Amino acid sequence: MTTAAPSPSTPTRVAVLVGSLRAESVNRRIAESLRDQAPSGVEVQIVDGLAALPFYNEDIDGDAAPAPAVELRSAVAGADRVLVVTPEYNGTMPAVLNNAIDWLSRPFGQGAISGKPFAVIGATPTPYGGKWAHEDARRSAGIAGAVVLDQVVVSQSTIDTDVLGDPQVFGRLRDALGALVDHQVEAA
């Protein structure tokens, strides 16, 4: 049985994890533009505080988990969808994003990301647009229990491209958010 995405009267909340901490991050600007231009009925929340997350360590997890981890889990648990917007570092996802997924994956089987429809987009200044990072983030989130949407991934090269200024290019990124929001959630 399937149920529709939340009805128009109930906003669909999308938690966005940005894989770059850089102040001038292109990926952060993509996330901010998607938030600022979100369609009606969609609330996009960029989850801040990933830099304050300690590296995942089972010794510090549990009832007294660190505040940044509690805040991250709460933001994602309260969302209907999760979107990652990330560059690629050394052929994979940046450590800050990997660490966030690790925190979201525990308790095992009941992590905040578990059961959440999940998609990845991002941009890098190479011809491949960060596709290995995007593949790895999708695989990792899937193992953590997220519902990774098969077709919803955009790995955008920024070479000779104004990602935010080119309507076709930005349109593809916006369409990915739309497809994530429109995904039909399987009823329990």
Ligand X SMILES: Cc1cc2nc3c(=O)[nH]c(=O)nc-3n(C[C@H](O)[C@H](O)[C@H](O)COP(=O)(O)O)c2cc1C
- In the complex with ligand X, which residue's Cβ is closer, 115 or 161? 161
CB atoms within 10 A of CB 28: 20
Window 143 to 172, contacts with ligand X (CB under 6 A): none
Rule CB under 6 A: is residue 23 a binding residue for ligand X? Answer: no
- Contacts with ligand X by CB under 6 A: the residue count is 15
Residue (130 or 145) nearer to ligand X, CB: 130
Verify binding: residue 89, ligand X, rule CB under 6 A. Answer: yes
Residue 105 or 158 with smaller CB distance to ligand X: 158
Residue 90 interacts with ligand X (CB under 6 A): yes or no = yes
Q: How far is the CB of 84 from ligand X (least distance, A)?
A: 12
- Residue 67, classified by CB atoms within 10 Å of its CB into exposed (0-12), middle (13-18) or buried (19+), is exposed
Backbone φ/ψ region at 109: left (φ over 0), alpha (ψ -120 to 50), beta? left
The answer to whether residue 125 forms part of the interface with ligand X (CB under 6 A) is yes
Q: Under DSSP, is residue 57 helix (H, G, I), strand (E, B) or coil?
A: coil
| Contacting residue, 25, 98, 105, 114, with ligand X by CB under 6 A | 25
List 15, 26, 69, 141, residue binding ligand X (CB under 6 A): 26
Nearest CA among 59, 77, 157 for reference residue 113: 77
- Is residue 124 near ligand X by the rule CB under 6 A? yes
Which range binds ligand X by CB under 6 A, 21-29, 46-54, 101-109, 144-152?
21-29
